[in-house]
């Protein structure tokens, strides 16, 4: 499957947003991440802005710094329905049954509304 430059750009930006969100959730600065990875602060900034894509090795290092799996970094960035469903399932697993049921009902209503407005 071919990906045009616009799709690459959107993917890079999505991954960058995920990296920035993970960093902020851990209460880290770009400087601290750069130091942990032994790279420059500008390199961290460029990844978070979606200008550059981390290598597989760098993803592994970032996952270690953010205490998550590499798959978490990628799934959080994906726009594939199956990946988004997996992410939602992971979130739902942390909630009590009543809250999960409420969220499922809200999602059904929102999806129905959006489908009807097309």
Instruction: Convert the pLDDT of each residue in 16-61 to its tens digit.
Output: 999 999 999 999 999 999 999 999 999 999 999 999 999 999 999 9
Q: How far apart are CA 53 and CA 1, in angstroms?
A: 19
Residue 3 has pLDDT above 50, yes or no: no
pTM given for the model: 0.71
Residue 4 has pLDDT above 80, yes or no: no
Domain ranges of the chain: 1-79, 80-118
CATH number of 1-79: 1.10.260.40
pLDDT at res. 5: 61
At 100, the pLDDT band (50, 70, 90 cuts) reads very high
């Amino acid at each position: 499957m071919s990906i045009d430059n616009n799709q690459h750009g959107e993917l890079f930006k999505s991954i960058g947003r995920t990296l920035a969100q993970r960093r902020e959730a851990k209460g880290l600065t770009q400087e601290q991440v750069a130091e942990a990875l032994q790279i420059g602060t500008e390199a961290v900034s460029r990844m978070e802005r979606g200008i550059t894509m981390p290598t597989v090795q760098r993803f592994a290092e970032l996952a270690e710094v953010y205490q998550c799996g590499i798959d978490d970094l990628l799934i959080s960035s994906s726009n594939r329905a199956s990946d988004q469903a997996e992410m939602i399932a992971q979130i739902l697993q942390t909630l009590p049954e009543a809250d999960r049921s409420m969220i499922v009902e809200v999602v059904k209503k929102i999806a129905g509304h959006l489908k009807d407005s097309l």
